[in-house]
Structures are given as structure tokens and as C-alpha cells.
Amino acid sequence: MGTTREEVDRFVLETIADVAAAEVAAVRQSTSLLDIYMDSLTLVAVVTRIEATYGAAFDADELAEIGSALTVGDVAAIVARKCEST
């Protein structure tokens, strides 16, 4: 796919910050999703943007993994794995 891990990490962080209406500068890979009020509905918006940008379709297991992610970095790691496998 030609996307670096750093690019994926940055995109996921910026997307989560945007969806959560948080300042990008205040969000880190270690930021708890609960601390920025992310819930399953807002994660759907994040996944939709990720799928549109990277052309990756997440299966039910991957969506469940995203739904149980605790931090921004956890979501980025899942997305990076997906990007590597497509």
C-alpha cells in the first residue's frame, strides 16, 4: 500500500482528534479513548474515514478489536496491521 507506520499513526491520531473535537496537539498515541469521550458510535466515524482513505475493509473481528481498544495507539496499531496485510 506504500504507507508508513508513522503516516498511519498520524492519520489515526488526527482523525480521532477531529471526530472527538479535541485539539490535535493535546492527543498522543497514549491518550485514552475514554479521556477524549470516544464511544462506539464515534469509533464508527473513525473506521469509516480509515476505510475510505486506505481502501481497507475491516472484518467483524477487527472491528471488535477496534471497539475494545483503550488508546489512540491501540487503534493505530490495528490499522497499521490492516494496511500491511492489504
- 23-49 pLDDT tens trace: 999 999 999 999 999 998 999 999 999
Strand segments (E) across the chain: none
Q: If pLDDT is split at 50, 70 and 90, which confidence band does 3 have?
A: confident
The letter for the amino acid at 11 is F
Fold type of domain 5-85: 1.10.1200
Q: Is the pLDDT of residue 9 over 60?
A: yes
Q: Is the pLDDT of residue 86 over 90?
A: no
Check residue 35 and report its DSSP letter.
T
Phi, psi torsion values for 32, nearest 5 degrees: -70, 135
Please, what is the angle between helix 40-54 and helix 60-67, to 10°? 130
For range 55-74, the mean pLDDT: 94
Give the start-to-end residue ranges of the domains of the chain.
5-85
pTM score: 0.92
Rg of the chain over CA atoms, in angstroms?
A: 12
